[in-house]
Amino acid sequence: MPPAYAIQRLALHCLVSSNSPARENTSPNSLNVLLVGGGGREHALAQAIAASPKLGTLYTSHPGNPGIAAVATPAGVPIDAAQAYRAELFCRDHDIDLVVVGPEAPLAEGLADSLRRKGVAVFGPNKDGAQLEADKHWAKDLMRGAAVPTAESRSFTDAEQAVQYSLSRTEPPVIKATGLAAGKGVVVPSTHKEAADAIRWMLNDKAFGDASSRVLIEERLEGPEVSVFALTDGTGVYILDACQDHKRLLDGDEGPNTGGMGAFCPSTLIDDAMMSRIQREILLPVIDSMRREGIDYRGVLYAGLMFTHSGPKVLEFNVRFGDPECQVLMPRLASDALEMLYATATGNVESLELAWHPGAAVCVVLASEGYPQKPITGQSITGLDEAAEMEGVFVYHAGTKHDDASGQVITAGGRVLGVTALGDDLEQAKDRAYAAADKIRFNGMQVRRDIAAATVIAPAASRNS
Ligand code: AMP
Ligand code: GLY
């Protein structure tokens, strides 16, 4: 298999519809940036943006994250879609050249629309494009229309009709809230009773409010999962190295689903031929369909794929970088991250020629006791500096805060830190990430010991084409 960083140099920098020559990247020499979001993904973005010689000032909507606060200036006003006028005024008063939106919720609520109307360049789609993640029913229709391979499904608003349909299937199907549910809206039941309970919980008990007023009943697929990221401005597409994350809480892929307990990049499951197929069968048809619907999608398109016996199929689309996947992508990026984000936001994806550090990156998530159900927070964290000083290591803050009383950094969320390391290969990156993670301590810390281990990552041989 070729090294993954060769993938970019081969077939994957393509155009959807234009055959014009690569354009010059003409980003200004000093860019003021507003970064929206306050988790590990945004800390990784903040650090990458802060390393750019083209950066003027980086502002953050979330200075409560000590990692982000170390490299960014607080915006000082709420930055959200509900009060978009504040964000608009902030951008005007601070000469903001680029707004980078990390999470999906502000995109789904139309923050990017408001800012773009005022002439601000935004990395992240408008509300119409964000439906791809915020409305799974809409996303399925789009996929069907574009003949994109995905799990077979039907959507329901009536619980008893949904239960009847679920019972008509041999295997218990997967139940999904169609709206945004903070990563908790998917139930993969082992029995028909669990499926029926999940349906009634979502539709009748309104488990996620409006987000579960409609559910998808979806065929259960089997196979390893891969996260694929494509930068697009609706016309140009640039595909990044694929990542794999580990969704289950416990070693050996046991326990409840989480937002992700670790990730690595590049994926061991994708070679050039497979990436071309994913590009041809999945990414380009979806981007092209959106363009034909008049959607001006600028940002990253994240395809969550399952490699089934009949090839790669879409589990979901997201309209943002994955978390923790972003925490392995950013450290591997050798090119200027700010230029990359700005080119995407301003319709210059065609100008991108990204360079990557060779080798691999592994991120190990340190989570609080009780995560994902009920995280216990407020614990003092030690060893942060010692870990961050190690070679090739990046310590990203996800759920931490500064405790004014003790002057210490304490835990403040479910996923607390992402400890990433670069290495010449996956093995070295993994060893470094764990060596660094082992320097960090807080009460009740949960950490999977098998991130990127050969026992849980599917070997290339299991890939089907
Ligand atoms: P999603 O948020 O749609 O990616 O779903 C969260 C997780 O649920 C995925 O990462 C999979 O592990 C699992 N999942 C979702 N859809 C399916 C499916 N159709 N078959 C099997 N597992 C699924
Ligand atoms: N790591 C999964 C996600 O970001 O949705």
Q: Which of 306, 317, 318, 325 to mutate to test the pocket of ligand 1 (most atoms within 8 A of CB)?
A: 306
State in Å: Cα 235 to ligand 1 middle: 29
For residue 211, being part of any structural domain is answered with yes
Binding site membership of 133 for ligand 2 (Cβ less than 6 Å): no
Contact 99, 91 (CB under 8 A): yes
For residue 188, being part of any structural domain is answered with yes
Cα end-to-end distance, the chain, whole Å: 15
- Tell me the two tokens of residue 247: 């969704």
Q: How many CA atoms lie within 13 A of 140 on its CB side?
A: 19
For residue 242, being part of any structural domain is answered with no
- Atom index in ligand 1 nearest the CA of residue 151 equals 19
302: three-class secondary structure by DSSP = strand
Domain that holds residue 181: 152-218
How would DSSP label each residue in 384-450?
A: HHHHHTSTTEEEEESSEEEETTTTEEEE-SSEEEEEEEEESSHHHHHHHHHHHHTT-B-TT-B--S-
**Ligand 1, pocket residues at CB < 6 Å:** 151, 174, 186, 188, 218-221, 225, 247, 257, 304, 315-316
Backbone angles phi, psi at 257, to 5 degrees: -70, 145
Calpha distance 244→324 (Å, rounded):
10
Per-residue confidence in pLDDT tens, the chain, 465 aa: 333 333 333 334 344 433 334 455 557 789 999 999 999 999 999 999 999 999 999 999 999 999 999 999 999 999 999 999 999 999 999 999 999 999 999 999 999 999 999 999 999 999 999 999 999 999 999 999 999 999 999 999 999 999 999 999 999 999 999 999 887 899 999 999 999 999 999 999 998 999 988 999 999 999 999 999 999 998 899 999 999 999 999 999 999 889 999 999 999 899 999 999 999 999 999 999 999 999 999 999 999 999 999 999 999 999 999 999 999 999 999 999 999 999 999 999 999 999 999 999 999 999 999 999 999 999 999 999 999 999 999 999 999 999 999 999 999 999 999 999 999 999 999 999 999 999 999 999 999 999 999 766 654 444 443
CATH of the domain at 204: 3.30.1490.20
Calpha distance 392→405 (Å, rounded):
33
For residue 179, being part of any structural domain is answered with yes
Considering only CA atoms, which residue is closest to atom 19 of ligand 1?
220
For residue 142, being part of any structural domain is answered with no
- Tell me the two tokens of residue 360: 């691999």
For residue 203, being part of any structural domain is answered with yes
Contact 356, 172 (CB under 8 A): no
Comparing CA positions, the residue from 271, 254, 255, 199 lying closest to residue 6 is 271
Domains identified in the chain, total number = 1
Calpha distance 121→115 (Å, rounded):
8
State in Å: Cα 197 to ligand 1 middle: 18
Which conformational region is residue 444 in: left (phi greater than 0), alpha (psi within -120 to 50 degrees), or beta? Answer: left
CB within 8 A of 165, min separation 6: which ones? 154, 156, 217
Considering only CA atoms, which residue is closest to atom 3 of ligand 1?
316
For residue 199, being part of any structural domain is answered with yes
For residue 423, being part of any structural domain is answered with no
CB within 8 A of 119, min separation 6: which ones? none
